[in-house]
Amino acid sequence: MYKLLIDAGTTWSKVLELFDDENSLQNSPFNFCIDNLQKVNRTGSFKNKDGKAVKGRITLFPSKYLHKLSILFDKATGHMVKNHIKPDGAYENEVIALAYGAMKILNNPKDATIVDIGSRDIKWIKFKGGKYSDLDWNGSCGSATGATVEMLCKFYDIDPANIEVQKEKIPVTCGVFAMEKIMDLIASGTQTEIAISKYIHGIAYNTWKFAGQPDIMYLSGGFCMNPCFIKSLELYCKVVPLGRYVLLEGLY
């Protein structure tokens, strides 16, 4: 058995190869470099939806390379993948993948709000009394999320790990207005790190409000690796980071 699963986000793609025999990885398309940018994140034991252990390997690479790879997947979720699925493969809606992944990771939670923040959108799902209770997925105005922070950090050459949390925030209801505020702050002499931190705080506050102001937020997505975002969010609620593979977990 060799199966290829993918969560193809706008910026990053997460691939899980499931196999019985480690030798089947010898011909894996992910053994080859994609301009040296792919990272094998973890090889080991994973748990399928029936609780059975399966062998697997996770690889992370920028989604912009997806169109260069002539690989078809067995199961997929995400914005970028619809043309990369085997004829007998399956596509899973991202909210449903989030719901199934969270149920698996949190072991069928009774009451929980799980929020996934991607490069350009926020989606959340809520369980109450052990059952699905509510969900939402923001639209056009949600573009002020991960990709914008990545672009800002690259543009100003700042390591996001070194940004200190700020008590003040920039409102991000409109991403365009928020960007203008950052530029204004920097132009008026505010340190770039501080301006970006206020922006990250604004995203954190917006996320918390959009998700219905939960007391505890289970966080999914790349922002789990951003300490400034986590600390900003902790000004409003307890945060439990689940990592960036929750949707992938929802596929098997």
Partner 1 sequence: MTDQNKRLIGMWGYPHPEVIRQMQAEYPENDIIDLDINYNYASSNILPDAYCRIITNIIDNAVYLKDKLDVIIASVGEEKCDNGRFAATILADMGFNIVRTKYCKCPDTPVNVPISESNLPLRQKIMVIMDSIIAPASIAFEKSKPEYGFWGVPPNDMNILDLFPDNTHVFGWTRCVEANRPADIDLEMYVNESVPTVFFAQTFCAKMQLAKYLAKKYNGLYVDVDDVASNSVKAKIEAFIRLR
Letters for 41-80 (x = contact with partner 1 by CB under 8 A, - = none) are --------------------------------------x-
Q: Which stretch binds partner 1 (CB under 8 A): 9-17, 117-125, 186-194, 201-209?
A: 117-125
Contact 246, 252 (CB under 8 A): no
The token duo for 52 is: 């059975």
Is 84 near partner 1 (CB under 8 A)? no
> Closer CB to partner 1, residue 82 or residue 238?
82
Is 85 near partner 1 (CB under 8 A)? no
List all residues 6 or more positions away from 218 whose beta carbon is below 8 Å from its beta carbon: 102, 106, 109, 112, 113, 114, 115, 240, 242
Please give the residues from 121 up to 180 whose contact with partner 1 meets the rule CB under 8 A: 121, 123, 125, 132-140
Contact 232, 209 (CB under 8 A): no
To partner 1, the closest distance from the beta carbon of 93 in angstroms equals 5
Alpha helices, DSSP H, located in 55-137: 94-105
Q: State how far the Cα of 154 lies from the Cα of 164, in Å rounded to an integer.
A: 17
DSSP state of 145: S
> Closer CB to partner 1, residue 132 or residue 177?
132
Is 95 near partner 1 (CB under 8 A)? yes
Contact 25, 19 (CB under 8 A): yes
To partner 1, the closest distance from the beta carbon of 172 in angstroms equals 18
Interacting residues with partner 1 (CB under 8 A): 79, 93-96, 99, 121, 123, 125, 132-140
